[in-house]
Amino acid sequence: MLRIVNLSKSFNTGTDNEINIFNKLNLEIEENKCTVIIGSNGCGKSTLLNMISGSIPTEQGQIILKGTDISKMREEKRAAYVGRVYQDPSMGVSPSLTILENLSLADKKGERFTLRRLIRKNSIGRYIELLKTLDLGLENKLNTKVKFLSGGQRQSLSLIMATMKHPDLLLLDEHTAALDPKTSNVIMKKTKELIKKHSITTIMISHNMRDAIEYSDRIIMLDKGEIVLDKSSRDVTERELIEIYRIKLELERKVS
């Protein structure tokens, strides 16, 4: 489904501040599965997702989605195949536009259109049905600007927008990290429901070990740009993952 082949990435290349994030990373992601990536701050999780979505360029290697190398494809073009929800609730949406305008924009992903013709009247019923599934009453706020919504409401909308065209791949970068525990749970459940319903292959980054295990099929741990753990989520426990982090921290403390 998705193959990452010999992917390399550095920042500040050729300067004193050069950091090598990935050196010939290889990874295969199976179709219709939710794969979670965990790992300490700065280990390269978001950089990997950014390269897959095309928001930052790769240096070397290939990103092959359904047999096509997309590593040089423009981000806007890739967006037709790759949906994304960010950690920051204001990132996946346009805050100064209304809910209806945001949904219409998401619906036009990959198409050429003029802003004047943004809203298709005969699509509104479909948007209302989608919003109703969230159970947040957003279907009654179609003309409300998104900046007036709460973080949880925005992330829910973002999730619907990222999945409404049934992308080949969905990228979730700590998309519930900015939410309170209750809202986070609601969004995680909604996420699971949507990816199962539309059979969307998903890569999710999380620092929440419990969510990582509960909502995924496979867990990958990155450390210094390398895969140090790759297991079926059924075969790991929260305690085991926390223990791996503890040992790693202890080792790092001893080295420094």
Ligand X SMILES: Nc1ncnc2c1ncn2[C@@H]1O[C@H](COP(=O)(O)OP(=O)(O)OP(=O)(O)O)[C@@H](O)[C@H]1O
Report the interface residues with ligand X, using CB under 6 A.
11-12, 19, 21, 39, 41-47
3-class DSSP state for residue 157? helix
Q: What is the nearest approach in angstroms of ligand X to the Cβ of residue 198? A: 26
Q: Rounded to 5 degrees, what are φ and ψ at 8?
A: -125, 145
The residue number whose beta carbon is nearest to Mg ion equals 46
Token output for 47? 């950089």
Q: Is the Cβ of residue 42 or residue 110 nearer to ligand X in the bound state?
A: 42
Q: Is the Cβ of residue 103 or residue 204 nearer to ligand X in the bound state?
A: 204
Rule CB under 5 A: is residue 102 a binding residue for Mg ion? no
Partner in contact with 176, chosen from Mg ion, ligand X, none, beta carbon below 5 to 8 Å by kind: none
**Among the listed residues 32, 27, 30, 84, the one whose alpha carbon sits nearest the alpha carbon of residue 53:** 84
Residue whose entry in the numeric block shows the structure tokens 């997309």: 70
**Rounded-to-integer distance, Cα 157 and Cα 127, Å:** 11
Q: Is the Cβ of residue 46 or residue 98 nearer to Mg ion in the bound state?
A: 46
**Rounded-to-integer distance, Cα 39 and Cα 230, Å:** 12
Rule CB under 5 A: is residue 156 a binding residue for Mg ion? no
Q: What is the nearest approach in angstroms of ligand X to the Cβ of residue 41? A: 3
Q: What is the nearest approach in angstroms of Mg ion to the Cβ of residue 45? A: 5
Q: Is the Cβ of residue 138 or residue 213 nearer to ligand X in the bound state?
A: 213
Q: What is the nearest approach in angstroms of Mg ion to the Cβ of residue 224? A: 15
**Rounded-to-integer distance, Cα 21 and Cα 138, Å:** 41
Rule CB under 5 A: is residue 176 a binding residue for Mg ion? no
The DSSP bridge partners found for residue 64 are 3, 69
Q: Is the dihedral of CA 124, 170, 63, 68 positive or negative?
A: negative
Q: Is the Cβ of residue 38 or residue 134 nearer to Mg ion in the bound state?
A: 38
Partner in contact with 41, chosen from ligand X, Mg ion, none, beta carbon below 5 to 8 Å by kind: ligand X
DSSP designation for 98: B
Partner in contact with 44, chosen from Mg ion, ligand X, none, beta carbon below 5 to 8 Å by kind: ligand X
Residue 235 neighbours by CB distance under 10 Å: 10
Residues that bind Mg ion in the complex, under the rule CB under 5 A: 45-46
